[in-house]
């Protein structure tokens, strides 16, 4: 499969699989949430690399990419800090739903959570969601439409959490990282950003 070739059936099947994996991760009980989300993200990343293997140009890890990743992670954390304050003041259910997000990690060591987020979930989500799905949708429908559709799908699979705040947060984060990938055409800063942000917000300085 050529790097820039769009195969609608392959893309659609991966989206369907993502929906099933996120359903199992967020809705079904059993196992550890952080293990499930790591497995789900890794499965999609491996599948996408198999479907489109020639993607070395997407992984340009250099000083600039790392700096951009660090700075953007801090910016996104600040955006969520402001958003939490606004949502908590405007929506009576917001605080409870935010607490429920963090409650999914109850009983799991923060060290394990941090490791999984930084080394597995963060990188693997970007390899699939931005590096494969958004890239293909932008190739097929154009940059603006592809970015928007990828963001909607990314937020949409989080509907299985039945948590408005989590689904909204996924939409904001997905739009942010999607815009980064669109702008830099490089997964490296997006991977750094996602990995740092998720590790900090869930394991270092949580917002619940």
Residue 1: is its pLDDT beyond 50?
no
- In eight-state DSSP terms, residue 107 is T
What's the confidence (pLDDT) of residue 4? 58
How far apart are alpha carbons 164 and 98 in whole angstroms? Answer: 9
Residue 117: its pLDDT value, please?
98
Give the mean model confidence (pLDDT) for residues 194-202: 98
CB 43 within 8 A of CB 21: yes
Positive or negative CA dihedral for 128, 80, 34, 15? negative
Contact of 78 with 163, CB cutoff 8 Å: no
Sign of CA dihedral 38, 82, 161, 32: positive
149 pLDDT exceeds 60? yes
CA 201 and chain centroid, separation:
13
Q: What is the mean pLDDT of residues 52-73?
A: 94
> How much is the average pLDDT of 153-182?
98
pLDDT of residue 157: 98
**Sequence-ordered alpha helix ranges (H) in 27-92:** 33-51, 63-90
Return the residue matching tokens 């963060």: 122
Tokens standing for 84? 């939490």
């Amino acid at each position: 499969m050529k790097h820039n070739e769009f195969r609608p059936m392959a893309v659609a099947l991966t989206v369907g699989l993502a929906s099933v994996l996120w359903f199992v991760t967020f809705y079904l009980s059993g196992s550890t949430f952080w293990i499930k989300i790591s497995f789900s993200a890794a499965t999609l990343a491996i599948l996408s690399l198999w479907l489109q293997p020639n993607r070395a140009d997407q992984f340009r890890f250099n000083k600039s990419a790392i700096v951009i990743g660090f700075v953007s992670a801090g910016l996104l954390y600040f955006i969520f800090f402001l958003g939490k304050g606004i949502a908590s003041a405007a929506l009576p259910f917001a605080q409870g739903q935010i607490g429920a997000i963090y409650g999914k990690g109850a009983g799991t060591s923060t060290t394990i959570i941090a490791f999984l987020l930084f080394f597995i979930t963060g990188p693997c989500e970007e390899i699939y969601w931005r590096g494969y799905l958004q890239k293909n949708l932008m190739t097929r429908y154009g940059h603006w439409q592809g970015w928007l559709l990828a963001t909607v799908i990314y937020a949409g699979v989080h509907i299985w959490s039945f948590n408005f705040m989590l689904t909204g947060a996924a939409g904001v984060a997905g739009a942010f990282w999607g815009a980064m990938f669109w702008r830099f055409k490089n997964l490296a800063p997006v991977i750094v950003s996602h990995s740092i942000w998720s590790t900090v917000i869930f394991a270092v300085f949580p917002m619940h």
